[in-house]
C-alpha cells in the first residue's frame, strides 16, 4: 500500500464536485494500518452482508401437477443428488449450482382468499404477500394493512450504516394509484416492500432515476437535465478530486478505482444510449414507459443488475428488492421462444403443450440470473467476492397460475456462501409455509425473532444429505 503517513482512507469516501457524489469501492487503503496487529483482516473489513429479493409473478409451470411430474421447476433428486432436465426452468443455473439452494414444496397460504369477497383477487394481493408472508386487508382506501416485509427487517439490521438503507426496483409500470380489481388497493400490487404493515415503499422503474439516486447526479432536475443535454458524465464533475485521490493510492488501488469508475461510466453510457434511442421519434414497443426504460426486457434487467452491483460495491446500500413483473401482465417475451403473453400463458388450461409454452417464459426469466451472478462473482471485495457476501432470494407467491393457487410455490436461494449451503435441493414437508424459510434466513442475519408471517418453525437449511 502506498498511502501517505500510514493514514487510512475512510471506508465511506466520496469524490465530490459540483452536484455529483461518487462513492468509492472498497480499497486496500481503507484497511487499518495496523490490521495485522489488530487482527481485523481484509475479510472482516469488507465482508458486509447484502440481500437481494427478486419476485417473479404468475408462479411456474413446474408448480402444476403435471409440470411437477416432469420436474419443470424442482428437480427429482434431493440433497446434493439432483440433476436438471433439459426442460427445467432452472437449467440456466446449472453452471452455478454451487451457489444455488432450491427450496421446494413451500406454500404462501396468506395469499389465498380467507373470505368470500376475496375469492378471485389472487393477482391483487399476491405481491404484497411475497416478502411479508401476511394476509393483506381487502381495501381500496388508505387503511392498508399487510405486514413488514423481510427485506425491510433485514435492512434495519444491516442497512442503517449506509447512505440508503434499501432500494426498491421494478421492471414494469406499477404507478397505478387507487383501486384495483376485487376491491384491493393497487398499493398491494405496486410493491413487494413494506416498511410497516401500512406503509408500502415505492419502486423505481427508470434506470436513470436509480443511477441519479446512487451517484447524486445533480442537485435538482434542472442540473440533471443540463448534464444530459451536454451528454456529459458525472465523472467529469469529479475529475479534480479523482486525480488528487489517485496520487495517494498504490498501484493496485489505482487499478481498482479505474476499473470501478469505468464501470460507472459504461453504465451511464448505456443509459444515455437508451434515452437517445427512445427520444428519436422511432415507434416504441413500450410507448408508456419513461424515456430511460429500455423496450428490451433483457437490456432493462441487465441495467438494473449492474446498478445493484455498483451500489453494493460502493456500499451505498446493502438491501435491494426487485419486482420483475406486474401481476396479470400480458407482456410478451419473444426471446423466450413464445409470443404468448405472460398472463395468458399462465392460464394454460392444464394442456401439456400449453404448460410447456408457459415454461419457456419461466426458463427465460431464470436465464437472466447468470449475468447478475457473474457480475457479483467477478467483483472482488477483500478476500471474498460480492457473490459470497450477497444472498439472493428468487421466487413467486403464486404456484400454479392456471388455477391461482399458492401451494408448491417456486423459491430458490443464490449466493450468500455463509448464509445458505449451495448445491442443494431441499424439499419441504407438505404444508410447510414459505414463511418458515424467511424465518430461518432472518436468524442467519442474526435477527432474533420467534416468528415471521405465518411461520411455524425455522426451516432447516442445512442437512447431511
pLDDT at 27: 86
> Sorting pLDDT into bands at 50, 70 and 90, what band is 451?
very high
C-alpha cell at 117: 369477497
> Average pLDDT, whole number, for the chain?
90
Phi then psi dihedrals of residue 127, to 5 deg: -60, -35
The Cβ-side half-sphere exposure at 384, using a 13 Å CA radius, reads 19
Q: Is the pLDDT of residue 1 over 60?
A: no
What lies within 8 Å, CB to CB, of 449 at 6+ separation is: 153, 439, 442, 443
C-alpha cell at 24: 468509492
Q: In the chain, what are the domains?
A: 1-46+208-292 (no CATH), 51-205+318-465 (3.40.720)
Other C-beta atoms closer than 10 Å to the C-beta of 79 total 14
Give the length of the chain: 465
Question: What does the pLDDT average to over 352-378?
Answer: 98
What lies within 8 Å, CB to CB, of 2 at 6+ separation is: 248, 249, 250, 251
pLDDT digits (tens, 9 = 90+) for 327-345: 999 999 999 999 999 999 9
pLDDT digits (tens, 9 = 90+) for 224-241: 666 656 657 888 878 778
**DSSP reduced 3-state for 333:** coil
pTM over 0.85: yes
With beta carbons less than 8 A apart as the criterion, state whether 24 and 359 touch: no
CA distance 259 to 264: 9
Helix or strand holding residue 368 (H, E): none
Cα dist from 211 to 100, 205, 310, 325, 331, whole Å: 29, 11, 10, 20, 25
Question: What does the pLDDT average to over 122-134?
Answer: 97
Other C-beta atoms closer than 10 Å to the C-beta of 351 total 11
| Parallel/antiparallel/unpaired status of strands 167-170 and 424-433 | unpaired
> Sorting pLDDT into bands at 50, 70 and 90, what band is 383?
confident
pLDDT digits (tens, 9 = 90+) for 32-48: 654 444 444 444 445 67
* Sign of the Cα pseudo-torsion (313, 371, 323, 414, in order): negative
Burial class (CB in 10 A: 0-12, 13-18, 19+), 304: buried
Q: Is the pLDDT of residue 102 over 70?
A: yes
pLDDT at 229: 62
CA angle 444, 365, 135 (to 5 degrees): 55
pLDDT digits (tens, 9 = 90+) for 394-430: 999 999 999 999 999 999 999 998 889 999 999 999 9
CA distance 343 to 189: 15
Helix or strand holding residue 215 (H, E): helix 207-215
* Sign of the Cα pseudo-torsion (80, 81, 87, 92, in order): positive
pLDDT at 13: 78
pLDDT at 33: 52
Nearest to 395 by CA among 379, 405, 408: 408
Amino acid at each position: 500500500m502506498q498511502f501517505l503517513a500510514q493514514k487510512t482512507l475512510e471506508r465511506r469516501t466520496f469524490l465530490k464536485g459540483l452536484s455529483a457524489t461518487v462513492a468509492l469501492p472498497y480499497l486496500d487503503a481503507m484497511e487499518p494500518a495496523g490490521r495485522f496487529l489488530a487482527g481485523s483482516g481484509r475479510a472482516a473489513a469488507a465482508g458486509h452482508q447484502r440481500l437481494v429479493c427478486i419476485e417473479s409473478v404468475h408462479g411456474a409451470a413446474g408448480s402444476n401437477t403435471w409440470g411437477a411430474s416432469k420436474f419443470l421447476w424442482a428437480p427429482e433428486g434431493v440433497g446434493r443428488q439432483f440433476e436438471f432436465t433439459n426442460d427445467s426452468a432452472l437449467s440456466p443455473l446449472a453452471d452455478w449450482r454451487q451457489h444455488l439452494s432450491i427450496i421446494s414444496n413451500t406454500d404462501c397460504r396468506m395469499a389465498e382468499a380467507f373470505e368470500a369477497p376475496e375469492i378471485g383477487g389472487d393477482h391483487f394481493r399476491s405481491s404484497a404477500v411475497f416478502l411479508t408472508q401476511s394476509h393483506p386487508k381487502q381495501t381500496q382506501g388508505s387503511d392498508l394493512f399487510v405486514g413488514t416485509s423481510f427485506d425491510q427487517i433485514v435492512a434495519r439490521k444491516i442497512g442503517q450504516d449506509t447512505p440508503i438503507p434499501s432500494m426498491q426496483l421494478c421492471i414494469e409500470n406499477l404507478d397505478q394509484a387507487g383501486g384495483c380489481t376485487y376491491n384491493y388497493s393497487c398499493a398491494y400490487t405496486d410493491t413487494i416492500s413494506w416498511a410497516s404493515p401500512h406503509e408500502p415503499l415505492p419502486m423505481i422503474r427508470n434506470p436513470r432515476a436509480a443511477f441519479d439516486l446512487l451517484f447524486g447526479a445533480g442537485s435538482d432536475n434542472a442540473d440533471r437535465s443540463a448534464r444530459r443535454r451536454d451528454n456529459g458524465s458525472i465523472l467529469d464533475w469529479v475529475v479534480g478530486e479523482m486525480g488528487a485521490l489517485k496520487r495517494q493510492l498504490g498501484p493496485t488501488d489505482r487499478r481498482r478505482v479505474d476499473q470501478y469508475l469505468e464501470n460507472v461510466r459504461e453504465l451511464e453510457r448505456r443509459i444515455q444510449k437508451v434515452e437517445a434511442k427512445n427520444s428519436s421519434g422511432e415507434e416504441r414497443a413500450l410507448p408508456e414507459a419513461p424515456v430511460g426504460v429500455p423496450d428490451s426486457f433483457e437490456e432493462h434487467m441487465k441495467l438494473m443488475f449492474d446498478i445493484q452491483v455498483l451500489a453494493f460495491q460502493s456500499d451505498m446500500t446493502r438491501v435491494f428488492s426487485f419486482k420483475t413483473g406486474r401481476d396479470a401482465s400480458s407482456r410478451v417475451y419473444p426471446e423466450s421462444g413464445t409470443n404468448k403473453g405472460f398472463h395468458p400463458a399462465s392460464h394454460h388450461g392444464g394442456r401439456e403443450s400449453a404448460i410447456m409454452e408457459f415454461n419457456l417464459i419461466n426458463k427465460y426469466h431464470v436465464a437472466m440470473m447468470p449475468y447478475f451472478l457473474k457480475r457479483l462473482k467477478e467483483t472482488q471485495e477483500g478476500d471474498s467476492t460480492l457473490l459470497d457476501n450477497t444472498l439472493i432470494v428468487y421466487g413467486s407467491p403464486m404456484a400454479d397460475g392456471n388455477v391461482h393457487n399458492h401451494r408448491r410455490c417456486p423459491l430458490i436461494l443464490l449466493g450468500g456462501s455463509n448464509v445458505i449451503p449451495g448445491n442443494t435441493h431441499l424439499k419441504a414437508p407438505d404444508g410447510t409455509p414459505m414463511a418458515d424459510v424467511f424465518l430461518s434466513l432472518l436468524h442467519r442475519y442474526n435477527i432474533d425473532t420467534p416468528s415471521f408471517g405465518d411461520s411455524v418453525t425455522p426451516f432447516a437449511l442445512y442437512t447431511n444429505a
